[in-house]
Amino acid sequence: MLDPLPIALAAIATLTVVLVSTVKGTGWEPTEDISDEIVERRANSLPETGFPEPGNRAIGAGGGGGGAIPAGGEGGEGELEEGGSGGSGPGDIPEDEVEYFEVEFAKQGETVELANDEPILEQGEDQGWDLPYACRQGQCVSCAGRIADGPSEDFVEHDNQQMLDENELDDGYTLTCVAYPRDSFTIETGEAP
Ligand code: FES
């Protein structure tokens, strides 16, 4: 005859082991969840440290690719080619449309005809006069002169002069290296504001 008590104790012990094993087994799962959370936190922090965001990539792609630069590049080439032959400046005047104006050089005591497609300085030098200059780019005042007849820009067009302010222009001052005649006038060379 079997004693039921040991059998019952054995069954209880077996169930206890199974339960403990099950509990321990499920105890590892939260570890994976924590890892995912850490990875997610890192991922969220990356854009804030300068990692390119989708928006930034889009800007880069738009500026670098898109139509902007290729289109601008083509335009730039065209401008450069034309600029090389005087394309976009006030001297860009077709040969058959060039006009001439009588300009009196007060200090030289002569009146000459100046074309409207060349700077005053160059045309004065063509006369053999030793006129003052330095940069020849409108970035100093070495070549400055004064038009006695009124505001200089009523008589000349400057090609990107960067030195004279509105008052000086209104007083008749001009930078002869970048000044293209647009009317007849009298000029005193070697006169800076
Ligand atoms: S030479 Fe420098 S502005 Fe004319």
* Distance between CA atoms of residues 193 and 101, nearest Å: 25
Contact 140, 134 (CB under 8 A): yes
The number of the ligand 1 atom at minimal distance from the alpha carbon of 161 is 3
The number of the ligand 1 atom at minimal distance from the alpha carbon of 163 is 3
| Cα–Cα distance list, 118 to 5, 16, 49, 95, 148 (Å) | 122, 106, 55, 12, 21
Q: Is 28 helix (H, G, I), strand (E, B) or coil?
A: coil
- Report the 10 Å Cβ neighbour count for 5: 8
The residue nearest atom 3 of ligand 1, judged by CA position, is 138
Q: Is 184 in the pocket of ligand 1 (CB under 6 A)?
A: no
- Residue 11 has what pLDDT? 60
Contact 129, 176 (CB under 8 A): no
Six token digits for residue 84? 């090389």
* Among 156, 158, 146, residue whose Cα is nearest residue 186: 146
Q: Is 192 in the pocket of ligand 1 (CB under 6 A)?
A: no
* Distance between CA atoms of residues 183 and 90, nearest Å: 14
User: Position 167: which residue type?
Assistant: N
Place of tokens 């400046």: 89
User: Position 141: which residue type?
Assistant: V
Q: Which residues contact 110 (CB under 8 A, 6 or more apart)?
A: 104, 127
* Distance between CA atoms of residues 98 and 91, nearest Å: 9
Going by their DSSP bridges, the two strands 100-105 and 185-189 should be labelled as parallel
User: Position 126: which residue type?
Assistant: D
* Distance between CA atoms of residues 140 and 163, nearest Å: 6
Which pLDDT tens digits describe the chain residue by residue (193 residues)? 556 666 666 666 666 655 555 555 555 555 556 667 755 776 666 555 444 444 444 444 443 334 344 444 444 344 444 444 445 789 899 999 999 999 999 999 999 999 999 999 999 999 999 999 999 999 999 999 999 999 999 999 999 999 999 999 999 999 999 999 999 999 999 999 9
Q: Is 136 in the pocket of ligand 1 (CB under 6 A)?
A: yes
